């Protein structure tokens, strides 16, 4: 089978560069090209040179339409306003769309779900295998421990991250809620400040930290009288997300249209 041609949206960003390096390093893949926002100084530059792997004879462009038309799959870790538009392009050309964008609202998510009726979309807040296992364990532990155990989710990211809590933290909260057979929206507690009163029993709390160049730390804390259990994942580099995204693209080849997650990719 010919190498899978994989394109990267936002190719000059830190995550975009990591995705380009992963495509180049993983057998069975070929770099199809990449895009950047209009006006970016990266447009016209060789995508491999921008990613630090040397020239690959593919220039970064400014037109996502062209990238989708020339790719078997496109990796998208961009912005909530752009990703649904990209999903529509994927649906139009029947191109595999791998989405790691976080901070999407309900309407944006619905637009992605609609696009998945016509093409394969793999959508995950985090493409790390370790984070997937953390999410699975969180659901199991929440289901085992009783309501006298408080659940708190703590996440820390670099100082350039624009959304909070992180998409991964929200996915962990949703997993904990599933384990307890409750709706996260009804028990979510965020942003404590001032005189808040005692913690409400059964709530799932979130706390977000921002600083430095932290790639992503996530902890789920289960606390009760005289006892605390913590499940933690720390990412040391974006490469773990990039490898997972490329793995998802390769897995998606030949699959019927639909909206898939890392649970599907990993066979759980």
| Cβ-proximal residues to 60 (8 Å cutoff; 6+ apart), any chain | 11, 12, 33, 34, 35, 36, 40, 42, 43, 44, 45, 46, 47, 50
Which residue's entry shows tokens 């979309």? 121
H or E stretch including 231?
A: strand 227-235
Helix then strand then coil, in percent of the chain rounded to 5, is 35, 25, 40
- Residue 62: CB atoms within 10 A of its CB come to 15
Among 58, 86, 97, 157, which one carries the catalytic annotation?
A: 157
Q: By C-alpha distance, which of 119, 29, 27, 108 is closest to 68?
A: 119
- Residue 144: CB atoms within 10 A of its CB come to 10
Active site residue 200: no
Which residue's entry shows tokens 């961009």? 78
- Residue 57: CB atoms within 10 A of its CB come to 8
Active site residue 86: no
Among 5, 59, 161, 255, which one carries the catalytic annotation?
A: 161
Residues tagged active-site: 157, 161
């Amino acid at each position: 089978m010919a190498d899978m041609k994989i394109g990267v949206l936002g190719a000059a960003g830190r995550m975009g560069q990591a995705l380009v390096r992963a495509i180049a390093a993983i057998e069975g893949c070929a770099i199809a090209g990449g895009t950047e926002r209009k006006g970016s100084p990266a447009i016209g530059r060789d995508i491999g040179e921008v990613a630090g792997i040397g020239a690959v004879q593919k220039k970064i462009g400014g037109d996502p339409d062209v990238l989708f038309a020339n790719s078997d799959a496109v990796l998208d870790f961009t912005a909530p306003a752009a990703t649904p538009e990209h999903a529509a392009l994927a649906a139009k050309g029947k191109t595999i769309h791998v989405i790691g964008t976080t901070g999407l609202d309900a309407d944006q998510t619905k637009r992605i779900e609609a696009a998945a009726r016509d093409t394969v979309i793999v959508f995950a807040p985090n493409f790390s295998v370790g984070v997937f296992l953390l999410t699975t364990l969180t659901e199991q532990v929440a289901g085992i421990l009783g309501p006298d155990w408080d659940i708190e989710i703590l996440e820390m990211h670099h100082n350039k991250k624009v959304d909070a809590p992180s998409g991964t933290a929200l996915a962990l909260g949703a997993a904990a809620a599933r384990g307890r057979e409750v709706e996260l929206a009804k028990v979510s507690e965020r942003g404590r400040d001032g005189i808040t009163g005692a913690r409400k029993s059964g709530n799932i709390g979130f706390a977000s930290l921002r600083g430095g160049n932290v790639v992503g730390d996530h902890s789920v804390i289960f606390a009760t009288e005289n006892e605390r259990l913590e499940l933690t994942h720390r990412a040391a580099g974006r490469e773990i997300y990039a490898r997972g995204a490329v793995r998802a693209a390769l897995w998606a080849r030949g699959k019927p249209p639909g909206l898939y997650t890392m649970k599907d990719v990993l066979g759980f």
